[in-house]
């Protein structure tokens, strides 16, 4: 029996080396094993410093006293707890590629039970306001374009189309930029046929976690950046709207209105659909929480992201902490 147990442990170690990326070989591999024995963890992913600073400013994250972080591929994966939940936190960087790469790396390296992605976003819905927090039920990637010539026509299989000439000023007419057709995502999933993509428009977050998140509606959100800078109205948290993602920072009123009228989305950001798609592909639960920092070009003058971005990030961070409080307790199952 001892012989077979020893062989099983050896096989497990060899398998771990086989699937471990080069950056986790050597001493970091042994530290990684040590960290994973304490899991599973909920993965927390933000995007850029404003969001990270807001999260740490809450004081809710308590680093592991012995193994507070591991560095891989230039990113720092921080190990610790929020309340009674074991978490691994990382800042991914702006854009779809950074978000997908970081999510996949987190899922490959660590014992993760699910992903909570959070940050700020642009507001696309006139019924929402700066400072509000949205927990969408699904995301569409509005960055997959077929950009056609002026004489081209949008493919009937595309999910939406935009005629640039309709936005000529002072009046509509021909425009050399032509037409844009919005295309589908292709989802490869461990639950699907190998090497076969599923066409996908809306990538849905985990419905069980979304149900838990619905308990957060009505929580108190901060209204003021400081004693002299406050929002006009009291911010609110809304669960179950739709979000959009693309590698485009939207600060244009016409395009903002197009996104709302065409896709009925309420927020726009540059990472969420990538995190959701990557989690779905690997079969892990995922949820997204985004604080609205600006109105995506509908304002007069400069975007409000520089003024209220920190407030939106803080409201988001506090909402994440409340969600972690509501999520079921984690089970620490045996890990070799």
295-316: pLDDT as tens digits: 999 998 889 999 999 999 999 9
Tokens encoding 299: 């304002």
Q: Last residue of some domain: 183, 203, 235?
A: 183
* In a shared domain, residues 221 and 269: yes
61 and 203 co-located in one domain: yes
Let me know if residue 279 belongs to a domain: yes
pLDDT for res 18: 43
Residue 174 lies in a domain: yes
C-alpha span between 320 and 288 (Å, rounded) = 9
The verdict on 271 and 127 lying in the same domain is yes
> What is the pTM (predicted TM-score) of this model?
0.90
**What are the DSSP calls for 257-284, one per residue?**
HHHHHHH--SEEESSHHHHHHHHHHHT-
Give yes or no: residues 238 and 106 share one domain.
yes
Peptide bond between residue 119 and the one before it cis (omega within 30 degrees of 0): no
The answer to whether position 48 is within a domain reads: yes
pLDDT score of 120: 98
Residues 69 and 211 grouped into a single domain:
yes
Q: Could you tell me the residue range of the domain that residue 173 belongs to?
A: 146-183
Q: Are 60 and 321 in contact (CB under 8 A)?
A: yes
- Whether 13 maps to a domain, the answer reads no
Please count the residues of the chain. 336
Q: How many domains does the chain have?
A: 2
Among 183, 207, 239, identify where a domain stops.
183
Residues 62 and 134 occupy one common structural domain: yes
Joined tokens for residue 241: 């709207």
Q: Roughly how many angstroms between the first and final C-alpha of the chain, as a whole number?
A: 17
Which residue do the tokens 């997959």 mark? 144
Q: Are residues 167 and 257 in the same domain?
A: no
**Structural domain ending residue among the three candidates 125, 157, 183:** 183
Q: Is the peptide bond between 30 and the residue preceding it cis, with omega within 30 degrees of 0? A: no
In terms of domains, do 38 and 167 share one? no
Burial class (CB in 10 A: 0-12, 13-18, 19+), 211: exposed
Counting Cβ atoms within 10 Å, is residue 117 exposed (0-12), middle (13-18) or buried (19+)? Answer: buried
23 occurs within a structural domain? no
Q: Are residues 159 and 265 in the same domain?
A: no
Do residue 319 and residue 179 come from a single domain? no
DSSP state of 334: -
CATH value at residue 322: 3.40.50.1580
The answer to whether residue 336 sits within a structural domain is no
Q: Do 297 and 253 form a contact (C-beta atoms < 8 A)?
A: yes
**Cβ(198)–Cβ(221) below 8 Å:** no
In the predicted model, residues of the chain with pLDDT beneath 50 are 1-19, 22, 334-336
Q: Check whether residue 190 and residue 63 sit in a common domain.
A: yes
Instruction: Clarify whether residues 67 and 153 are in a common domain.
Output: no
């Amino acid at each position: 029996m001892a012989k077979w147990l020893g062989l099983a442990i050896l096989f497990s170690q060899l398998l771990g080396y086989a699937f471990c990326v080069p950056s986790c070989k050597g001493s970091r591999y042994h530290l990684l094993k040590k960290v994973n024995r304490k899991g599973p963890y909920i993965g927390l992913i933000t995007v850029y410093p404003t969001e990270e600073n807001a999260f740490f400013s809450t004081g809710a994250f308590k680093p592991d006293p012995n193994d507070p972080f591991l560095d891989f591929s230039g990113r720092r994966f921080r190990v610790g707890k929020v309340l009674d939940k074991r978490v691994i936190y990382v800042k991914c960087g702006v854009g779809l590629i950074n978000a997908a790469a970081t999510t996949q790396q987190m899922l490959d390296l660590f014992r993760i039970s699910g992903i909570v992605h959070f940050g700020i976003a642009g507001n696309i819905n006139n019924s929402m306001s700066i400072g509000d927090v949205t927990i969408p039920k699904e995301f569409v990637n509005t960055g997959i374009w077929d950009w056609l010539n002026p004489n081209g026509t949008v493919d009937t299989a595309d999910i939406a189309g935009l005629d640039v000439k309709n936005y000529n000023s002072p009046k509509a007419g021909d425009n050399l930029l032509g037409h844009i057709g919005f295309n589908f995502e292709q989802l490869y999933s461990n639950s699907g046929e190998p090497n076969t993509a599923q066409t996908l428009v809306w990538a849905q977050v985990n419905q069980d976690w979304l149900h838990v998140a619905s308990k957060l509606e009505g929580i108190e959100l901060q209204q003021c950046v400081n004693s002299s800078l406050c929002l006009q109205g009291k911010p609110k948290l809304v669960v179950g709207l739709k979000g959009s993602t693309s590698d485009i920072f939207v600060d244009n009123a016409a395009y903002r209105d197009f996104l709302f009228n065409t896709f009925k989305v309420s927020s726009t950001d540059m990472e969420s659909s990538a995190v959701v798609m990557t989690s779905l592909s690997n079969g892990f639960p995922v949820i997204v929480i985004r604080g609205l920092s600006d109105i995506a070009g509908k304002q007069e003058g400069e975007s409000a992201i520089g003024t209220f971005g920190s407030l939106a990030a803080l409201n988001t961070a506090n909402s994440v902490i409340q969600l972690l409080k509501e999520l079921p307790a984690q089970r620490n199952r045996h890990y070799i």
